[in-house]
């Protein structure tokens, strides 16, 4: 079974954002991976209200997290956090399956693979 962990801080911020854009029953956090980025792949997140064929849904701290089938292998085992610092604030994703990540904090290379220009079948999502 697919696993995505939301920190307490991320859960609180997501619930705040979800209540501005809908309800917890009809709003989801979509987490996905696209080809590109500094290190080969790039994480993405967006609030969504649609579940597409092939999507996997996991519940974490009362929030529905949706992952498309192409991104599932890259997202499984990830943790989502919300960080506030002097440099700024935002969501971060960490995954023990990453071999390397970029200083931007958004792109990564999977263990055992070289950084490709773009992975076949991984594409940007229109949200």
Banded model confidence at residue 98, pLDDT cuts 50, 70, 90: low
- Overall average pLDDT of the 94-103 stretch: 62
108 C-beta neighbours (distance < 10 Å), count:
25
How far apart CA 89 and CA 73 sit, in angstroms, is 27
Does 4-110 carry CATH code 3.90.1640.10?
Answer: no
Beta bridge partners of 67: 56
Banded model confidence at residue 123, pLDDT cuts 50, 70, 90: very low
| Region of residue 93 (phi > 0: left; psi between -120 and 50: alpha; otherwise: beta) | beta
| Helix (H) or strand (E) segment spanning residue 19 | helix 8-21
């Amino acid at each position: 079974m697919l696993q995505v962990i939301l920190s307490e801080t991320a859960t609180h911020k997501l619930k705040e954002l979800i209540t501005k854009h809908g309800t917890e029953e009809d709003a989801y956090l979509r987490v996905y991976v696209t080809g590109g980025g500094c290190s080969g792949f790039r994480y993405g997140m967006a609030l969504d209200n649609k579940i597409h064929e092939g999507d996997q849904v996991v519940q974490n701290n009362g929030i529905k997290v949706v992952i498309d089938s192409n991104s599932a292998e890259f997202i499984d085992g990830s943790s989502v956090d919300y960080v506030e610092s002097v440099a700024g604030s935002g969501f971060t994703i960490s995954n023990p399956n990453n071999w390397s990540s970029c200083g931007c904090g958004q792109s990564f290379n999977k263990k055992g693979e070289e950084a490709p220009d773009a992975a076949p079948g991984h594409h940007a999502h229109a949200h």
